């Protein structure tokens, strides 16, 4: 259950995102009327699965407009979240949006995911890497593995038939454990109509990907 303060933070963020999206394209403009369901609710649905810890260090790869990182910070304020994107305009804007939510435990960083292990300030290690339809699973796994704690995990929001994407990822990372959880929210048909899912990935032995 969200507090009044959290609801007010979501309202401010939704308004900020809609306003700044006209100036810096961060989400599809066709979705601007669906911010609450397709962006905010979708982001915090990671927590509905029971797979997301309520505290710890989280890296949001390809955050764009702060999704899913900012909604997760609002819903789970004990998380310490780094919002990562490679596009300077997006990082500058999302950093401003993040500052409207909190001054602590939420920051925007400009870097490429594959370069993060070389960044001494932001390379982790992280408890969780989150992402929302940023890249194929195999790429997300390649970028995330070096910055995760040994018992860390990836939680990524995806949709549709993931059979081939998972096959490719499992071939590359043979010892990875990949679990798919279907998302369903009572009264919101969009999740089931679009076959929305959370994919959880762990690396029990931290094995190196096959070349």
Q: 66-101, pLDDT tens digit by residue?
A: 999 999 999 999 999 999 999 999 999 999 999 999
Residue owning tokens 């602590």: 104
> What CATH fold (topology level) applies to the domain 4-202?
Rossmann fold (3.40.50)
Cα–Cα distances (Å) from 151 to 48, 125, 128, in that order, read 21, 10, 9
Q: For residues 122 and 193, what is the distance between their CA atoms, to the nearest angstrom?
A: 37
0.85 cut: is pTM over it? yes
Distances (CA, A) of 136 to 13, 132, 177: 28, 11, 16
Q: Is the peptide bond before 164 cis (omega within 30 degrees of 0)?
A: no
For residue 33, what pLDDT is reported?
85
Mean of pLDDT values over 137-161: 97
Helices (H) and strands (E) in the chain, counts: 8, 7
State in Å, rounded, how far the first CA of the chain is from the last one. Answer: 46
Q: What confidence tens digit (pLDDT) does each residue in 52-69 have? A: 999 999 999 999 999 999
What pLDDT score does 209 carry? 47
CA distance 28 to 59: 23
**What does the CA dihedral 94, 101, 43, 107 come to, rounded to 10 degrees?**
50
């Amino acid at each position: 259950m969200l507090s009044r303060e959290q609801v007010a933070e979501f309202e401010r963020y939704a308004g900020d995102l809609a306003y700044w999206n006209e100036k810096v394209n961060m989400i599809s403009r066709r979705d601007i009327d669906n911010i609450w369901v397709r962006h905010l609710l979708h982001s915090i649905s990671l927590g509905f699965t029971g797979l997301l810890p309520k505290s710890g260090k989280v890296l949001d790869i390809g955050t764009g407009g702060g999704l899913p990182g900012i909604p997760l910070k609002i819903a789970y304020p004990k998380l310490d979240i780094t919002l990562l994107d490679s596009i300077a305009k997006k990082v500058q804007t999302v950093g401003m949006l993040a500052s409207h939510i909190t001054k602590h435990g939420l920051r925007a960083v400009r870097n490429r995911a594959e370069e993060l292990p070389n960044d001494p300030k932001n390379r982790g290690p992280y408890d969780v890497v989150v992402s929302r339809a940023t890249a194929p699973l195999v790429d997300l796994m390649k970028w995330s593995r070096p910055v995760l704690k040994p018992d860390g995990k990836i939680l990524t929001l995806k949709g549709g038939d993931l059979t081939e994407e998972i096959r490719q990822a499992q071939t590359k990372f043979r010892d990875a454990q990949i679990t798919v959880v279907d998302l369903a929210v009572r009264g919101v048909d969009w999740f089931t109509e679009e076959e929305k899912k959370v994919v959880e990935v762990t690396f029990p032995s931290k094995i190196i990907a096959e070349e």
